[in-house]
Structure 1
């Protein structure tokens, strides 16, 4: 059985840099692997956002960027927000 795909959701500046609100990618990778793939797909503009973004995996902040992402996970890309 193939692991469920990963859903990546982009917010604010990440959405603008990626040119879309969400995309689906194959599972079986870490957050570092995933971000490298996203940079290959979308280029330097998204790379700049990803360097400063926070990531939620199924609603929980991801602290270990080398750990395998769970199959079927939703990853939220959250750039820094202005305001208070």
Structure 2
């Protein structure tokens, strides 16, 4: 299980949830699980988002996620 934390627009797209627990093996799978759970709005945010896995930037959406990891979903912020 992973802990997913939402920030800014990702939080709004997830219905205001700040975090939740999800089972997923990769960021690609996580994106699909969360899109199924929360809908197209969050799916669009996830496509443009950056991710931190246990505090480290993760660019490879297919690499395995460690069990018990915390994944931060960071949508693009204004001005950068």
Establish whether TM, by shorter chain, passes 0.5.
Answer: yes
Residue 44 of structure 2 corresponds to residue 82 of structure 1:
no
Residue in structure 1 matching 2:4, options 5, 8, 24: 8
Higher radius of gyration, 1 or 2: 1
Matched residues in 2 for 1:25 and 1:50: separation? 15
Aligned length: 79
Residue 22 of structure 2 corresponds to residue 25 of structure 1:
yes
Q: Deviations over 1:21-78 (max 9, x none)?
A: 1000125x11100111000000011011111110000011112111110011000000
Shift of 1:11: 0.2
Q: Displaced runs of 4+ in structure 1, greater than 6 A?
A: none
Match in the other structure for 2:54: 58
Match in the other structure for 1:40: 36
| 3-state SS, counterpart of residue 34 of structure 2 | helix
Unaligned 5+ runs, structure 2: none
Matched residues in 1 for 2:40 and 2:23: separation? 22
